[in-house]
Amino acid sequence: MSAGAALEFRVAIREAIVEEMERDESVVFFGEDIAAEQGGVFAVTPGIQERFGTERVFDTPISELAITGAAFGAAVTGLRPIIEIMFGDFMGLAMDSLINQSAKYWYLSREQRSVPLVVRSAVGGGGRFGAIHSQTHATWFQGVPGLKIAFPSSPAEAKGLLKAAIRDDNPVIFLEHKRLYSVKAQAPAPGEVLPLGQARVARPGRDLTIVSAGKGVPDALEAAGQLARDDRIEAEVIDLRTLRPLDIDAVLASVARTNRMLAVEEGPATGGWAAGLLGIVAEHGLHDLDDVWLLSTDELPIPYSPTLEDAFIPGAAAIASAVRERAGVVVGR
Amino acid sequence: MSAGAALEFRVAIREAIVEEMERDESVVFFGEDIAAEQGGVFAVTPGIQERFGTERVFDTPISELAITGAAFGAAVTGLRPIIEIMFGDFMGLAMDSLINQSAKYWYLSREQRSVPLVVRSAVGGGGRFGAIHSQTHATWFQGVPGLKIAFPSSPAEAKGLLKAAIRDDNPVIFLEHKRLYSVKAQAPAPGEVLPLGQARVARPGRDLTIVSAGKGVPDALEAAGQLARDDRIEAEVIDLRTLRPLDIDAVLASVARTNRMLAVEEGPATGGWAAGLLGIVAEHGLHDLDDVWLLSTDELPIPYSPTLEDAFIPGAAAIASAVRERAGVVVGR
Amino acid sequence: MTVDEQIVTEAPAAYLERYGLMLLIRLFETEMQRLFLKGEVHGTTHLSAGQEAVPVGVCSALAPDDYLAGTYRGHGHALAKGTHPDALLAEMLGRVTGVCGGRAGSMNVIDAEHGLVGCFGIVGGSIAAATGAALAAKGQGRVAVAMFGDGATNHGYFHECLNFAQVLALPVVFVCENNFYGEFTPMLKVTAGGDIAGRAAAYGIPASVVDGNDLWAVREAAVEAVARARSGGGPTLLECQTYRHHGHSKADPAKYRPPEEVERWLARDPLGVAKARLAELGVSEQELSEVEETTRARMEQAVQSALAAAYPDPAGETATEFAP
Amino acid sequence: MTVDEQIVTEAPAAYLERYGLMLLIRLFETEMQRLFLKGEVHGTTHLSAGQEAVPVGVCSALAPDDYLAGTYRGHGHALAKGTHPDALLAEMLGRVTGVCGGRAGSMNVIDAEHGLVGCFGIVGGSIAAATGAALAAKGQGRVAVAMFGDGATNHGYFHECLNFAQVLALPVVFVCENNFYGEFTPMLKVTAGGDIAGRAAAYGIPASVVDGNDLWAVREAAVEAVARARSGGGPTLLECQTYRHHGHSKADPAKYRPPEEVERWLARDPLGVAKARLAELGVSEQELSEVEETTRARMEQAVQSALAAAYPDPAGETATEFAP
Ligand SMILES: Cc1ncc(C[n+]2csc(CCOP(=O)(O)OP(=O)(O)O)c2C)c(N)n1
Ligand SMILES: Cc1ncc(C[n+]2csc(CCOP(=O)(O)OP(=O)(O)O)c2C)c(N)n1
Ligand SMILES: [Mg+2]
Ligand SMILES: [Mg+2]
């Protein structure tokens, strides 16, 4: 990532859409209330309709089945749709077409056509939105071959990954953590497009590997800073970037160096991506491992009340103390 | 399981429904074409409407949103619905109400009401039904707190687990592998109700643990028989019975004895339940483990053509050779 | 007694009480806004000020143990169905005395004791919940009501459930609060055909367009629909035309609405309409102010008690994933 | 030239060719049944014998590069849109020469080269696929058609997509093949209102009821609807009433249908109807038999070539999860 002006996460998303729409006429963008003056409920996309017109950018009825199904149909006949399913929690309504049409088309058609399609949604807890506006839908889709799932951790990552997702010829589920929208950080180099399916070392370290994605990455980085400062523990932080495909090689390479791995997920352990990652790492790298464990949420819906929600979601402090408790004695100096 | 006459899997399901409907007036049963003379496309439920009348057993329009939503609404106001979503592949259409209404109600209402509800579907490949009538939807739902997921492996298990699911006060997703419907085996003791959330040792063994669910269990048992006979490898087979909650303790106890574990899933490794199980086992039992690995499917949709489908799905032979290849030298005698 | 007779012969006192309930909702929403700005209400909230006549009129036609499924814009739905304002407000503030112990929050309130099946955060979810409750209600002699917005009528839930309910002749009333906007998008822009009540014809369901700012009109339509449902006549769709005084949610200044339109609707504030009608019916200024005073005091008491309540202590929570 | 003029002035030869196509579909279905019983077709299959006039009439109104989305009962949809019978049959038999290399099978055929967006195994999926194709088609001067059954009109996909398409004035034609049953369940038992074409009014979409066993009637309605779509007039719903000669799928003997009903429909076999009409138009016996002979030979050739083809070799498959 080269130097640049500070970029807000929501603006990074907007810039990626605008740049790709300028680059390729076949990119279209639609969803509920995304074109209206506000530019969606998180004010991510104002001005885009004004810029590209109502044929390429439009509001739809509240119809998740139609939005997703229409995006599929359009994607296999020449357009490259970006759609917004406002909150990830609504993705259950959009699931059928994604898994039974978009995800399978390339294979079933014996490669007659691919399905260039991006589905953006706001995900995650911590915003006091309650149980039905705070979920992260990644795990509902992670087991579906043919889908990619991207989960950026910073403004620069958001821009680079979204540009990649729009250019990608496969259906990409794109997760935007709502507590990142207002984060400002270094902009990427102009035109930068990041690879889908390639994790990155967000912070090198020798004592253990912390793997996460989305909002978990800045939390892990903050925890790593605390651990380095207070406990002289040097944690390596891996940003998965995509949850499908999973860059197992990058994780294995890190674990081969550190021998310890903590996976941090804002979601329950059972059926979560973090447990699955541990499993695949154990399968391939068991003899490199001195310890592996998970930091996840309780096996409960996400609560509304601030006291409950704060205790529910693993943040930097929880990550740091998870490391201290389980590995402090062994790896601390 | 006590001795008894041979029972066909589809009849086991039917008997469970009939017995529970007789036992409890509030149990109702509806879905698409389940009441019609045929009793559903797999002829599982003929005669039930005749027996219990059209108020308690009825056919619905092709409306997965309405069926699942109505089942939820009925469950929190005094009925105990059993619904059929014909093929598991259609569960994407039924997902919203299950995850956003049924799964969260007990918690969000602060235990005002529970949601006694069972969702039956036919799942799995091997029937030449193609990519969109062969999926197993367990992993789409496994990460959703508040849901139970049962996956029986035999007629007796089907009957006992379905009776438990109907009596359970929580929403239970019930998977019926379509290649089990015609299996005949020992009937359970009359009135037997099996626990949800408790795995069972389907075959004891000292050399390694094979964990599976549903159709994978008879396959693993067959493989274990071959391995014992041909390779003098004694595999312990664990039938998970439910994929949520996961009976980690049972798996850990087995692995503590055998030190090796193979998880067999008819589905891809990425995002699958088997990888997640390995991960949680690794978290809690790393130092008991000499080896862990997965037998899963390619990361592709399920193909139609017999040659492709047969190669795609891991059966007994694939399980046996997976064990021979990875563990034969170490544990074989 | 016919429905009309029931409505007409009712004493004005009953309407005065309903006016009090409408006012309670209004005051509740005003407090919500004030408390939101003070940081006491968290996340987001959807106010129903301007729409009070709909839930109050509808619930006036229900028995206490009939079922109601409301939406994320649900404070009025809950209060009209009987949820205690103290418990509702405490829930909004995330306090342990909330009707759901602070777990649910503004969009997901459940109050089974008062027949509130729930408020549903998914557009269309209330339609499905009420359809299901009607399945149970059928055997219980009860009726179920779904509240939902104009935007929800474009959703698959609407279509599937109306068809399902009619096929099974379920005792359910579908009440569309048509406030002419779904979030920032005008109803006519996304609703083909432009006619919500008219959509009922597709299912052979009787429907009517109701002045949703007139308590009397809403009540009359609801009494008829509820009677039909209870007597085995199946579902009804009521399109109650109304208007929200605020934006969609706390973050929305609602600049997309033409000022003349807003003014026109403000001039027909359901509270004003009801007050005028009560005067016509001979209710005195003093009777009115008494009710207003009581209501204000009730609301004040709700605010005090909610603010005084503790936040839930995560360490003390005994939540279980599953019912035993 | 108006639509009516187009239809009327067309030479009988064009209809003779279409008759040949209908016959091809019928023969295809007959072979499918025979081959199923021989174990060459696997899993399940849904035959469309009796419904041939619908896809043939509809596709006769389309340009080759217009889009069609069909269903699991899709052999007729694919053949009418131009899929080669050899490639289609080979797909059914799971052979490597199949249009999808044997990967897709009976319910999921895709033939992009011929504008067949796909056959969709999810009820209602074809409606969504065509709606989406219409989004692209709009800028391409093309039209998209959705084929679906009566049962699909109770699905959320139907409602959401018709509304969506009308709001955006998309160039799409919604063709309901009303064969009066969804699996074993009579349409009237689960379809409130009992009127499919009538449902279009909810969206302000023009609709008509069409004799789906009369090629001429279907074609006429389709030509008009396609012209409307292509000229920016938006969607149309056509309810084509027809009947399937077989059960729902291979396992279904269709005993739930009253014998008189079956007989009534068999007496109006679309092939018979077409033959009689062709005779009226002056097509000779000999011309007819020539077409029949050619069609039979074409089908025979498809069977031979499909049976001669290899099964895919799993070891040789080069499938990738993702497009590069
Ligand atoms: C399925 C679904 N899609 C989108 C949303 C986001 N959303 C919340 S309210 C709303 C507008 C609903 O409009 P309407 O039905 O008219 O009800 P109103 O808010 O006007 O009362 C939208 C789009 C949601 N909650 N659920
Ligand atoms: C969403 C969904 N639900 C259920 C099914 C199972 N199913 C396949 S065909 C069918 C009946 C469809 O009836 P109709 O739409 O009238 O079409 P037809 O088969 O009569 O051509 C059903 C229920 C399915 N494939 N998809
Ligand atoms: Mg509205
Ligand atoms: Mg039909």
| pLDDT, tens digit (0-9, with 9 covering 90-100), for A240-290 | 999 999 999 999 999 999 999 999 999 999 999 999 999 999 999 999 999
Q: Using one digit for the tens of pLDDT, what is the confidence trace for C170-229?
A: 999 999 999 999 999 999 999 999 999 999 999 999 999 999 999 999 999 999 999 999
What mean pLDDT, rounded, does chain A reach?
96
Nearest CA in chain B to D42: B128
What confidence category does residue B1 fall into, taking pLDDT thresholds of 50, 70 and 90? very low
Closest alpha carbon to B216 in B148, B136, B133:
B136
Asked if C131 has any chain D CB less than 8 Å from its own CB, the reply is no
Average pLDDT over residues A132-148: 98
Q: What is the pLDDT of residue C4?
A: 62
Ligand 2 centroid from CA C25, angstroms: 46
Q: Give C99-158 pLDDT, tens digit per residue.
A: 999 999 999 999 999 999 999 999 999 999 999 999 999 999 999 999 999 999 999 999
The burial class, CB within 10 Å (0-12 / 13-18 / 19+), for D260 is exposed
Q: What are the b/e assignments for B70-102, b being 16+ CB within 10 Å?
A: bbbbbbbbbbbbbbbbbbbbbbbbbbbbbbbbb
**Ligand closest to CA D152:** 2
Domain ranges of chain C: 3-301
β partners of residue C120 = C71
pLDDT band at A1 (very low <50, low <70, confident <90, very high): very low
- pLDDT of C2 higher than 90: no
Percent of chain B with pLDDT over 70: 98
What local confidence, expressed as pLDDT, does residue C3 receive?
61
| Cβ-based burial of B287 (10 A; exposed 0-12, middle 13-18, buried ≥19) | exposed
pLDDT for residue A254 = 98
Closest CA to A171 of A236, A250, A106: A106
Tell me: pLDDT of B3 over 60: no
**Contact: D164, A70; criterion CB under 8 Å:** yes
Q: Does domain D3-301 bear CATH number 3.40.50.970?
A: yes
A vs B: CB pairs below 8 A? 183
Across the interface, do D131 and A114 touch by the CB < 8 Å criterion? Answer: no
CA–CA dist A69, D131 (Å, integer) = 8
> Is residue C37 pLDDT above 60, yes or no?
yes
- Write down the pLDDT at residue D197: 98
pLDDT band at residue B2 using 50, 70 and 90 as cut-offs:
very low
String of DSSP letters for C265-315: HHTT-HHHHHHHHHHHTT--HHHHHHHHHHHHHHHHHHHHHHHHSPPP-GG
Interface contact B276-A275, CB threshold 8 A: yes
**CB pair distance less than 8 Å for C198 and D193:** no
Q: Is A262 exposed, middle or buried (0-12, 13-18, 19+ CB in 10 A)?
A: buried
Whether this model's pTM surpasses 0.90: yes
Question: Which residue in chain C is spatially nearest to D204 when comparing CA positions?
Answer: C193
Q: Count CB neighbours of C197 within 10 A.
A: 20
The 10s digit of each residue's pLDDT in B242-296 is 999 999 999 999 999 999 999 999 999 999 999 999 999 999 999 999 999 999 9
Q: Write out the H or E segment, with its range, that includes residue D70.
A: strand D67-71
User: Which domains are present in chain B?
Assistant: 6-186 (3.40.50.970), 200-327 (3.40.50.920)
- pLDDT confidence bin for C1, thresholds 50/70/90: low
Strand partners, A175: A121
Residue C55 CB less than 6 A away from ligand 1 = no
Mean confidence (pLDDT) of chain B: 96
Residue ranges in chain D modelled with pLDDT below 50: none
Using a CB-CB distance cutoff of 8 angstroms, which residues of chain D are in contact with residue C201? 193, 198, 201-202
pLDDT digits (tens, 9 = 90+) for B161-210: 999 999 999 999 999 999 999 999 999 999 999 999 999 999 999 999 99
B110 pLDDT above the threshold of 90: yes
Contacts of D190 in chain B (CB under 8 A): 59-62
A282 and B289 within 8 Å at the Cβ level: the answer is yes
Non-local CB neighbours of A234 within 8 Å, separated by 6+ positions: A205, A206, A207, A224, A227, A228
Q: Scanning every residue of chain C, which has its alpha carbon at the shortest distance from the alpha carbon of A132?
A: C121
Residues from chain B contacting residue C113 (CB–CB below 8 Å): 112
Phi, psi of B131 (to 5 degrees): -65, -25
pLDDT surpasses 70 at A332: no
Residue reference for tokens 């091809």: D24
CB of B62 within 8 Å of a chain A CB? The answer is: no
Task: Give the pLDDT confidence of B22-76 residue by residue, as tens digits.
Answer: 999 999 999 999 998 889 999 999 999 999 999 999 999 999 999 999 999 999 9
Span A213-235, pLDDT tens digits? 999 999 999 999 999 999 999 99
Mean pLDDT of the region A292-312: 98
Among residues D88, D94, D64, the alpha carbon closest in space to that of D76 is found at D88
- How far apart are the C-alpha atoms of D51 and D36, rounded to whole Å? 20
Of B65, B74, B169, nearest to C323 by CB-CB distance is B169
Distance D186 CA to ligand 2 centre (A): 12
Q: Which residue type sits at A160?
A: G
Distance CA A171, CA A181 (A): 23
CB neighbour class for D4 (10 Å; exposed up to 12, middle 13-18, buried from 19): exposed
Query: ipTM greater than 0.95, yes or no?
Result: yes
A78, pLDDT greater than 90: yes
pLDDT digits (tens, 9 = 90+) for D31-54: 999 999 999 999 999 999 999 999
Residues of chain C in contact with residue D172, where contact means CB-CB under 8 angstroms, are none
Q: Is residue A2 scored above 70 in pLDDT? A: no
